[in-house]
């Protein structure tokens, strides 16, 4: 069966973009969670106890730093483990995507299919992590939505 190489590359580009975008969403959710966590902690501690942490401190933080701080604020060890396990995959996906998209000799159909399958598997994992992060975040902010201006 003949396939159009341009269509295959375009399809791969779309899958790679969605997967890498998913990793960006994970980072954004971690930053939002930390911003709200620290704001709630400051509120709960009140003015009698100084609390100098701020989510803004992590706006430009790399994923490793975010995970290290997040692990100190989250009791869900399975979620932390899943997040930590995803970091090497993220680095691999980014590297592979660049190699495929910008190398001199195009990939053959089998190589593209294998890489696309790998990206699809990562997308499932990313989606599951995003769902868990969202549920955790919603549980964190729900009691404080009326009292504090929290990030969405």
Give the model confidence (pLDDT) of 38-87 as tens digits: 999 999 999 889 999 999 999 999 999 999 999 999 999 999 999 999 98
pLDDT of residue 104: 60
Question: Cα separations (Å) of 67 from 51, 84, 127, 128?
Answer: 21, 7, 17, 17
pLDDT of residue 2: 54
Residue 34's φ and ψ, nearest 5 degrees, are -65, -40
Q: Residue 90 in contact with residue 23, Cβ under 8 Å?
A: yes
Q: Is 46 left (phi over 0), alpha (psi -120 to 50) or beta?
A: left
pTM: 0.86
pLDDT of residue 103: 64
Q: What is the pLDDT confidence band of residue 112, given thresholds at 50, 70 and 90?
A: confident
């Amino acid at each position: 069966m003949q396939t159009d190489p341009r269509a295959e590359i375009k399809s791969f580009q779309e899958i790679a973009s969605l997967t890498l975008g998913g990793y960006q969403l994970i980072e954004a959710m971690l930053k939002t969670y930390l911003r709200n966590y620290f704001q709630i902690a400051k509120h709960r501690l009140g003015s009698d106890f100084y609390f100098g942490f701020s989510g803004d401190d992590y706006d430009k933080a790399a994923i490793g730093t975010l995970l290290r701080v997040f692990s100190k604020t989250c009791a869900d060890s399975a979620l932390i483990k899943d997040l930590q396990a995803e970091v090497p995959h993220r680095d691999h996906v980014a590297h592979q995507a660049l190699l495929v998209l910008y190398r001199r000799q195009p990939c053959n159909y089998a190589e593209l299919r294998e890489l696309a399958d790998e990206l699809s598997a990562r997308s499932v994992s990313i989606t599951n992590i995003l769902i868990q992060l969202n549920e955790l975040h919603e549980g964190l902010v729900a009691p404080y939505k009326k009292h504090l201006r929290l990030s969405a």
